[in-house]
Structure 1
Amino acid sequence: MNSSTSSSEAIAATEATETSWRRFSVFLVGLTVAAVLGVIAAAYVIDPYDTGRSLLFGREGVRPQGPRTANASRGRDPSFDAAIFGNSQIQLLSPDRLNKRTGFNFLQLAVPATGPKEHFVLIDWFLKHRKGPVKALVVDSDETWCTSDPEMPNFRPFPFWLYAANPVEYAKGLMRYDILEELPRRFGYVFGKNPARARPDGYWDYEPDYLNLGYDTRPEVRARLEKPYFASEPTFERDPKEGQRKFPVADKLKALAESLPAETALIVVHPARYKSYLPPERTEDGYLDKACKAAMKAALAGHPRSAVVDWRIDRPENHNPDYFFDLSHYRQPIAMAIENDIVKALESLR
């Protein structure tokens, strides 16, 4: 009798303990979920990157930071009626210089180490935040645009969630550790008396950084410019894949061109390359480059105010090593020459 009672009491005690642990576990899970949802809700309301999704803690611009996140704020600034898109190979184009020569108000939205997938996301973000007419879009079409992969893979992390049209996708993106670091910084920026602000037009002159690293003086760095990047011997009399090459980015460009109002100019720029980085004719790389450029040009046919500015060709400036830091990053003389061609193209479209 005593043994049976003791056994029942032990079972009951075990069940009570298990029930208590279950309740405690459920409480912890509930508390964690509530905390996570609370952080997301707070981040949504505070809007740390000034996306415009909340106006409770509004202040123009954001603190100094990289363009991947800062462009969410810049891209919705209604004062700009023209913009430049691409990566570091077009970021040296100056909004100020273009403004003086065109009368437009250019925004530089280039992001280093990005490709077409990111470029079209930023183009869409800029366009959907315009209240007035868009004067011009200048778009960098480099080798990443020549991919045959319809997914247009990005090779470096990019906050696609930050520019997402779906609020749920944006909210999911807020669930990350760096948001916890950014929230107090946003408060400091919003409520500070004279907080430092990221440059509104997005321009970043990378020349001083390259010069500080000795790109214009170090012999081993200068020697890299002269090393051919591609096989130099011609191997084909004609394109071995003629008619077979597919460029999904050209389809995206075509859709963009056809969606633009007639008054918006669309300029595609093939950025400059040092001579060692130009694919030789009658080679696989040369035919690929030629076919890719032709596809981009054809994609613009549906928009009357469009043009191509091609600096990815053999021209005297691309033979001058003093105009380049490396094979694809040029200096101010080239940037100003490209700007000059853009201005000419815009004038021809008026």
Structure 2
Amino acid sequence: MADPRLTPDRDWRGDWRGFARTLLLSVAGLFAGYLALAVPVDPYDTGRSELLARGAVRPQGPRTASAVRGRDPAYTGAVIGNSHIQLIEPAALSRLTGIPFVQLSVPATGPTEQFALLGWYLQHHARPDAIVLSADAFWCADDPSFPSEHGFPYWLIGDWPAYLRGLIRFSAAQETVNRLGWLLSPRRKTAAADGWWDYERNYLSQGFGIDPAKKAALEKPAGPDAEPHHGGPFPIADRLRAELARVPARTPVVVVFPPVYVRAEPPPGSPRARAEAACRAQVRSVLATHPANAVVDWRDGRPGAADPDQFFDQTHYRLPLARALTTDIGAAIVRLRTQMTE
């Protein structure tokens, strides 16, 4: 006689199917419940939900903070680039031009990330008063995908499906909790709304300008074939042309070639020198197709680039040079705006 405690194989299979179904429904319910919380909390304040908006920037890195800063209607001018233009103080540029500027520069980014931020900014500013773009060596890459070694949260400034997928990650869940805590705190800390970040202290704390090894690295001459490039055409030309097509014709666009220390310049006449010059010439040519354009070129051999006290390393300059560069950028914007009204 069969033991009644034993269940036929088909019943075991049915139990497993039921268990699997319950497990899947539970996981789906968990994700749905999490998204039902995360979407209205909007952990990085992308504006997709205004339910808990507070009109302030929660302390965080520029990679994620650009989502809230880039959509702020108070700022009708934007500076976009990486750490090679991060020391341009937006408030100073605002004083020079009368345009409220926001810093959207994100360290360790190249054209792909920067144009994504430009697209986000234009999505929220139909008629910006001015745009400043930093064209450094990353713009002269041979690979049209402009690869980067550092991750970038494209999902934050992407479409809804990308945003929802991006929320399903541990870091986003953590930030959902962090934002809730920040919202509930009576003494919540805030970050600069305009994105200003003076990183001089960070460099000084690491020994730049003092450490003999770092000073020696600053004086190391660039080789003639360092960072080799072909002579063109460069992928940045087509990419910049496409991006400029999105910018209103009457919006001044200023492209900055940021300064590098004189030792970082390739030897005159070397393949690298010719390639870099060709790349910058292509950028100038494409930029000229935009009605209101200007180039601020600080790769032109000016004396400040030969002063080691003005640089932390060969591509990161200090505040005195940044302030002088800001003056030149402001003058270019004022000139363009005057021309557009004549």
Is the shorter-chain TM-score for this pair beyond 0.5, marking a shared fold?
yes
TM-score bucket of the superposed structures, by smaller chain: over 0.9
**1:275 lines up with 2:262 in the alignment:** yes
Aligned residues: 335
Identical-pair percentage = 41
2:67 matched residue in structure 1: 72
The one-letter code sitting in structure 2 at the alignment partner of 1:13 is P
User: Could you give the per-residue CA deviations for residues 186-229 of structure 1, whole angstroms, max 9, x where no partner exists?
Assistant: 11222332311121000100111111222121111111111112
Which segment is superposed worse, 217-226 or 12-21? 12-21
- Which residue number corresponds to residue 305 of structure 1? 292
Gaps spanning 5+ residues in structure 1: where?
Answer: 234-239
1:248 to 226, 232, 235: 235
Which deviates more, 311-320 or 255-264?
Answer: 255-264
CA distance in 2, matches of 1:42, 1:218: 49
Any idea what SS the aligned residue of 2:296 has? strand
Read off the aligned partner of 1:281 and give its amino acid letter: P
Partner of 1:206: 199
Distance 1:156 1:241 in 2: 25
Contact 1:258 1:302 in 2 (8 A): no
Normalised to the residue count of structure 1, the TM-score between the two structures is 0.91
In the alignment, the residues of structure 2 paired with residue 177 and residue 289 of structure 1 have an alpha-carbon distance, to the nearest angstrom, of 42
1:122 aligns with 2:109: no
Per the alignment, residue 236 of structure 1 pairs with none
SS at match of 2:8: helix
C-alpha distance in 1 between matches for 2:327 and 2:57: 31
SS of equivalent to 1:308:
strand
- 2:246 corresponds in structure 1 to 259
Unaligned runs of 5+ in 2: none
Q: Deviations over 1:244-289 (max 9, x none)?
A: x122222221223233223211000111100111122221211110
Q: 1:43 to 1:265 in 2, by over 3 A?
A: same
- Greater C-alpha Rg: 1
CA contact (8 A) 2:94 2:100 kept: yes
Distance 1:189-1:62 versus aligned 2 partners, 3 A rule: farther
**Aligned match of 2:190:** 197
Aligned to 2:152: 158
Aligned partner of 2:162 in structure 1 is 169
1:314 to 285, 297, 301: 301
Superposed CA deviations along residues 66-105 of structure 1, whole A, max 9, x for unmatched, are 0110110111110001010000010000111111111110
Match of 1:134 in 2: 128
Matches within 5 A, 1:1-350: 6=2, 12-130=7-125, 133-164=127-158, 166-231=159-224, 245-349=232-336, 350=338
Instruction: Give the TM-score normalised by structure 2.
Output: 0.93
Change in Cα spacing, 1:23 to 1:267, as seen in structure 2 (3 Å) is same
Note the C-alpha offset of 1:324: 0.3
How far residue 328 of structure 1 moved from its aligned partner, in angstroms, is 0.5
C-alpha distance in structure 1 between counterparts of 2:334 and 2:9, whole Å: 85
